[in-house]
Amino acid sequence: MARTPGLQPRRAALKMLDAVLRRGETMEQAGGAANGLGNPSDRALARAVAVEVLRWLTDLDALIDSATRDVLPVDAKARMVLRMMLVQWLRLDTPPHAVVATALPLLDGGPKRLAHGVFATLTRKEVRLPDVPSLPAAVVDRWGDRSAAIAAGIAQPPPLDLRLKRPADTARWAERLGGTSLAPGHVRLGRGANVADLPGYDTGDWWVQDLAAAIPASLLGEGGGRRVLDLAAAPGGKSMQLAAAGWQVTALDVNPRRMLRLRENLARVNLEAQTVIADALDWQPEAPFDAVLLDAPCTATGTCRRHPEVLHRIGPRQIAEMADLQATLLARAVGWVKEGGTLVYATCSLEQEEGEHIAARCPLTPDPIRPEELPEGVAPGVGGWLRTDPGMLADAGGLDGFFVARWTA
């Protein structure tokens, strides 16, 4: 039997979606389904189909349900294939005939006629997706009044943010790369750039880091040779920032594979840090540090622009588990800051249980974040804590959701 052109990346996308929605895996974990695709464009297509289905899942299901007499089970293979068919047509501009040709073979031995009929009905009606994706009801309940702005901020995949090793060169690099800058040391490019082919990659002049993700380390200022501990440091963006700012960095992470990546990143940009593979729940430093940065493990719901699977796989159980871990890590980090030193706590989560509720437990003296320390258009909230979300700076491409707080020991 002749192989259907384009079928393999769709099959990989189907496996990724099954791994995320049925087994609760992250897209990073599920991405192995595409590793066997030899062509990079096939791997990119598989990921694009899966990610866009997850971004628009609620609206895709509404369209499917509008065209079926009996509601398909939420985990039915026919529903999953129809989601993929619709997102290719409505979001990836794939012609309907090509959608049908590469989708129906995924249902060998299954309800091909049903899937074809539903898709044909919806194409005849010329249905469209809304301008802004609908969030799952449970997510709206958690995020409340912020939901509409966040939803608008995730309608498109995010741009590419670069963090410069030398912020003084911001204007020069923005011009050379053809990008824009929203803060010193930051350059933003459009989607689709091949990172390794960009000027400055081989010479280590920058690394990829979301604008919001760069804020926590920047709040520690210039190091002047002082010692800083970067907890949960991999893959290394914060450690590179701190080293470039003149800190003597101790980078700690429990994951050997991620720590290897951190070391490779440090080598590429020609920066140094002491790296420690250890569990922060067991490890003890020999002496306290001038500063500690705890960008704590979290549910990562703030990354929903690029990882929309968090909208569907994160719930109260995962949030509670992460909050318990964060509270324990923060309590340990407090004891590792020398008198007069600084502690910064951050999470890339939109959940108050992982941000405000954790920060309220810190016994140190608050050091409020000041407006002049932040990118233009980003401001601290009540009490000097910072909360960002994907709806902020939307006209400029948005940013990830973070919570950040700072104290003095």
Q: Is the peptide bond preceding residue 235 cis, with omega within 30 degrees of 0?
A: yes
Query: Does one domain contain both 289 and 386?
Result: yes
Q: Does any domain span residue 170?
A: no
Tell me, yes or no, if 362 is annotated catalytic.
no
Host domain of residue 381 = 210-408
* Cα–Cα dist 72/89, whole Å: 21
Q: Does any domain span residue 153?
A: no
* Cα–Cα dist 408/257, whole Å: 33
For residue 290, give the 3-state DSSP assignment.
strand
Contacts made by residues 192-196, CB under 8 angstroms, sequence distance 24+: 193/160, 195/160
Q: Residue 258's pLDDT is what?
A: 94
Q: Does any domain span residue 164?
A: no
Query: Does one domain contain both 111 and 230?
Result: no
Give the ranges where 56-95 is alpha helix by DSSP (H).
Answer: 57-66, 77-90
Give the ranges where 56-136 is alpha helix by DSSP (H).
Answer: 57-66, 77-90, 96-103, 112-124
Q: Does any domain span residue 42?
A: yes
Q: What is the CATH number of the domain that holds 55?
A: 1.10.940.10
* Cα–Cα dist 330/293, whole Å: 10
Domain termination site, one of 101, 124, 147: 124
Query: Does one domain contain both 104 and 229?
Result: no
Q: Residue 35's pLDDT is what?
A: 79
Q: Does any domain span residue 141?
A: no
Q: Residue 183's pLDDT is what?
A: 96
Catalytically annotated residue among 298, 304, 348, 362? 348
Q: What is the CATH number of the domain that holds 234?
A: 3.40.50.150
Tell me which residue has tokens 């026919």: 78
Domain termination site, one of 94, 124, 154: 124
Q: Residue 124's pLDDT is what?
A: 97
Domain count, the chain: 2
pLDDT by residue for the chain (409 residues), tens only, comes to: 346 778 999 999 999 999 999 999 999 898 888 877 878 899 999 999 999 999 999 999 999 999 998 899 998 999 999 999 999 999 999 999 999 999 999 998 889 999 999 999 999 999 999 999 999 999 999 999 999 999 999 999 999 999 999 999 999 999 999 999 999 999 999 988 889 999 999 999 999 999 999 999 999 999 999 999 999 999 999 999 999 999 999 999 999 999 999 999 999 999 999 999 999 999 999 999 999 999 999 999 999 999 999 999 999 999 999 999 999 999 999 999 999 999 999 999 999 999 999 999 999 999 999 999 999 999 999 889 999 999 999 999 999 999 999 999 9
Query: Does one domain contain both 250 and 374?
Result: yes
Q: Does any domain span residue 297?
A: yes
**pTM: predicted TM-score of the whole model, two decimal places:** 0.94
Query: Does one domain contain both 118 and 218?
Result: no
Query: Does one domain contain both 287 and 403?
Result: yes
For residue 293, give the 3-state DSSP assignment.
strand
Query: Does one domain contain both 330 and 233?
Result: yes
The residues near 232 (Cβ < 8 Å, ≥ 6 apart) are 252, 253, 254, 280, 294, 295, 296, 297, 329
Domain termination site, one of 124, 151, 176: 124
Q: Does any domain span residue 205?
A: no
Q: Does any domain span residue 195?
A: no
